[in-house]
Amino acid sequence: MAWGVSHDMVQKRSLRALWPALVALALSCFFVGWRLSHAGWDALALVELPREVDGVTTTPKGYDGQFAYYIAIDPTPKDVGPKLDAPAYRYQRILYPLLARALALADPAGIPWTMLLVNVLAHFLGTWAVAETLSGYGIWPGYAL
């Protein structure tokens, strides 16, 4: 291998950098499970859509998860635009809702679940990438947590 680094050294470094990502994955799964258990195992409840009760909105209107959900359900700007606080800004971040929509095969009932899946996977991969980078610089990969 180039620069005198053996395959075994790279493999050991990669395994050393994997444990923070696995810890992050375990914590993410625990947190998602805890939230789902308190929401009656309804992933849509985690989106916390605004609800009107007697003419009063019971949850705060508008946050990133809601807007991503609206775009994932219907990505057509003309249709979903009125539900968004700043459509041009929200459509700059379209990959996440489109990925969730694609994984759910555009099934509205599956979209909240695929949004959770994408988030947990991104948490795992992001932690792993940071741990791998730190390990490559000879820094303890646990700082990725």
* Count of domains observed in the chain: 1
- Per the domain annotation, does 4 fall within a domain? no
Q: How far is CA 120 from the centre of its chain?
A: 5
Q: Tokens 């609206």 sit at which residue?
A: 70
pLDDT tens profile 71-83: 999 999 999 988 8
Cβ atoms of 132 and 11 within 8 Å: the answer is: no
- Per the domain annotation, does 30 fall within a domain? yes
* This prediction's pTM: 0.82
Neighbour tally for 68: CB within 10 Å:
23
pLDDT tens profile 14-55: 677 899 999 999 999 999 999 999 999 999 988 888 776 666
Domain containing 103 equals 14-144
Neighbour tally for 28: CB within 10 Å:
18
